[in-house]
């Protein structure tokens, strides 16, 4: 076997000299280098922003969704949506481990794992579609994938259903980052709080802000707001269109008596919510843009345009121990687990 770059640059075909994530095309030949891991893929969990865009492009037609996904992989060698730039993650079984990784990894052949790196940089081959679960952004396939030496992963736990673990691990960075950001007494707004990552962030924010804090959930549909309210994941609930910045500003201002939020966490899967996030953040506050639909040019120039001195954080999908932190929420909260099992498992 040949030795590859730990970061996978040996797989980049176009343009040369860049890392696999920003590359336009990578080599998805499944003959592994000696520092790679071959995975027999079971399920793809497509990034929410990406899958929403694909569903819209396909008009909800499952066969068209398959065609679009297949075309992306054939063109790029990976599942990186050319519109959103994002990917997702996968679960599968370890099929082969490169010789150079002996003693460097705790994995063994046959282990069931979830990759914690994006599909937008993962060499992938789709041989057959088995099932498209378009309501939960998951697609079962027959196929193969490559994990680079630098790639992170989580062995799937025995006490949680596989699809439940996958749905949580897909957004593990969001609640783990929330745990780092929120302090006792903070006012926190989660935009998209009724979604998968949003609910996890609400739970973590409420725990960290404590009885002196204030956690506000923003959703767009009565049905999903009722679900979150029934689980008592927030202190206040707002129904609003997050693309309407002024509407949301007025509603948050009313709840906070004009003080606005210390921390705003944006988890929505649609574009043009940057200004709403910025306007409802108090000066010296923090906006955490976990959403892959975020346009960071709009965010930076928008904040400047309204004179907001705030800290804006890009939603890094990785933070130390994020997988363990997020899976633990499923064990810690029976109510939250019930919701996730109903929706995603």
User: All domains of the chain, ordered by start, with CATH?
Assistant: 9-156 (no CATH), 173-344 (3.40.50.720)
pLDDT by residue for the chain (345 residues), tens only, comes to 688 999 999 999 999 999 999 999 999 999 999 999 999 999 999 998 899 999 999 999 999 999 999 999 999 999 999 999 999 999 999 999 999 998 889 999 999 999 999 999 999 999 999 999 998 899 999 999 999 999 999 999 999 998 899 889 989 999 999 999 999 999 999 999 999 999 999 999 999 999 999 999 999 999 999 999 999 999 999 999 999 999 999 999 999 999 999 999 999 988 999 999 999 999 999 999 998 889 989 999 999 999 999 999 998 888 888 999 999 999 999 999 999 999 987
* Distance separating alpha carbons of residues 55 and 66, to the nearest angstrom: 10
What is the number of other CB atoms lying within 10 angstroms of the CB of residue 207? 17
* Distance separating alpha carbons of residues 225 and 244, to the nearest angstrom: 18
59: which residues sit within 8 A by CB, 6+ positions away?
Answer: none
125 has which bridge partners? Answer: 144
**Residue 280 half-sphere exposure toward CB, CA atoms < 13 A:** 35
Taking a C-beta distance cutoff of 8 angstroms, is the pair 312, 300 a contact?
Answer: yes
Q: What is the 3-state secondary structure (H, E, C) of 171-193?
A: CCHHHHHHHHHCCCCCEEEEECC
**In this predicted structure, what is the pLDDT of residue 345?**
73
**In this predicted structure, what is the pLDDT of residue 101?**
94
Cα three-residue angle 265-201-192, rounded to 5 degrees: 55
**In this predicted structure, what is the pLDDT of residue 103?**
84
* Distance separating alpha carbons of residues 170 and 209, to the nearest angstrom: 24
For every residue of 28-54, DSSP letters joined together read: ------TT-EEEEEEEEEE-HHHHHHH
């Amino acid at each position: 076997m040949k030795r590859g770059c730990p970061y996978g640059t040996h797989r980049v075909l176009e343009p040369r000299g860049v890392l696999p994530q920003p590359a336009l095309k990578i080599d998805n030949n499944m003959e592994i280098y000696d520092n790679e891991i071959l995975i027999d893929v079971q399920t793809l969990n497509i990034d929410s922003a990406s899958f929403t865009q694909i569903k819209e492009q396909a008009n909800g037609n499952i066969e068209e969704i398959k065609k679009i996904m297949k075309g992306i992989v054939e063109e790029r060698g990976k599942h990186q949506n050319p519109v959103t730039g994002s990917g997702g993650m996968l679960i599968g079984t370890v099929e082969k481990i490169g010789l150079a990784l002996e003693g460097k990894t705790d994995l063994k052949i046959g282990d069931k794992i979830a990759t914690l790196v994006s599909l937008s940089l993962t060499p992938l081959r789709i041989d057959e579609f088995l099932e498209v679960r378009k309501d939960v952004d998951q697609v079962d396939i027959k196929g193969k994938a490559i994990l680079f030496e630098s790639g992170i992963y989580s062995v799937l736990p025995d006490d949680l259903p596989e699809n439940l673990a996958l749905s949580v691990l897909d957004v593990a960075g969001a609640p783990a980052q929330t745990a780092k950001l929120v302090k006792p007494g903070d006012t926190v707004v989660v935009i998209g709080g009724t979604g998968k990552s949003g609910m996890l962030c609400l739970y973590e924010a409420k725990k960290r802000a404590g009885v002196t804090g204030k956690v506000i959930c923003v959703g767009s549909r009565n049905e999903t707001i009722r679900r979150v309210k029934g689980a008592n994941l927030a202190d206040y609930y707002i129904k609003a269109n997050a693309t309407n910045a002024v509407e949301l500003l007025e509603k948050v201002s009313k709840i906070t008596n004009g003080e606005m939020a210390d921390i705003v966490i944006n988890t929505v899967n649609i574009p043009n919510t940057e200004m709403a996030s910025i306007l409802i953040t108090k000066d010296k506050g923090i906006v955490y843009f976990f959403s892959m639909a975020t346009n960071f040019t709009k965010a930076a120039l928008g904040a400047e345009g309204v004179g907001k001195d705030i800290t804006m954080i890009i939603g890094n999908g990785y933070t130390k121990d994020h997988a363990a932190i997020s899976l633990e929420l499923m064990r810690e909260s029976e109510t939250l687990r019930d919701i996730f099992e109903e929706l995603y498992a």
